[in-house]
Amino acid sequence: MDKFSKELIDTWRENFTQREYPKREANLDGRVIDYFVMPTSLFQGIPNGLFRMTGNPGDGYIIGVSDEVPVPIQNPFAVSEHDEFIVYGLDDMDKTLHSEQNMLRILNNPDLRNSYIKNKLVLYSYMVENARGNLDKWHFSEEDYAGFVRAHNYLTCELKKDL
């Protein structure tokens, strides 16, 4: 996955503000994460898309959630993306899985949890299917791809448990 400079993060944060993308705050698990709600069209067909720009710790971050993600689960989507890249970080090969495990720990409401899982599975299913054999286009390493597969498998098992 790509790593971004503080300058680039700051530039794009200002750009998103100028474009008037709604800025929201997710307050979950005693933390407040800011994120932008971004037009679905920016995600080029990726359903329930997420955007992130992170770099070195302390450089700040940008998290974006597609406006097609149902409003009740936009906050959990943003927090899971933040956790994946800020809490667990680019060096953790299981950052995606860890962020999903943590999010399911946080989400106590069964309806919210099921909606979250189902919508994340839409995203991961698309990514796993479409990035296979084309990792360069997606800016994924083999390790990144394997991490998405593990997160997809985990959420699939969790959904079956909840049914």
pLDDT digits (tens, 9 = 90+) for 151-162: 999 999 999 887
- DSSP conformational letter for 43: G
Higher pLDDT, 2 or 101: 101
Helices (H), 1-141: 6-18, 71-82, 95-106, 110-131, 135-138
3-class state of residue 80 by DSSP: helix
129: pLDDT strictly greater than 90:
yes
The Cα–Cα gap between 160 and 162 comes to 5
CA end-to-end span of the chain: 34
The answer to whether 118 and 158 are in contact (CB under 8 A) is no
The answer to whether 97 and 150 are in contact (CB under 8 A) is yes
Count how many Cα atoms sit within 13 Å of the Cα of residue 145 in the half-sphere of its side chain: 16
- Sheet of strand 31-38: strand arrangement: 23-28, 31-38, 61-66, 50-54
Token digits of residue 161: 């448990």
Enter the pTM of the model.
Answer: 0.94
1: pLDDT strictly greater than 80:
no
pLDDT digits (tens, 9 = 90+) for 79-118: 999 999 999 988 899 999 999 999 999 999 999 999 999 9
pLDDT of residue 95: 95
The Cα–Cα gap between 35 and 24 comes to 5
Taking all residues of the chain, what is their mean pLDDT, rounded to a whole number?
94
Mean pLDDT of 28-56: 95
163: pLDDT strictly greater than 80:
no
Quick one: what percent of the chain has pLDDT higher than 70? 99
pLDDT of residue 68: 97
3: pLDDT strictly greater than 70:
yes
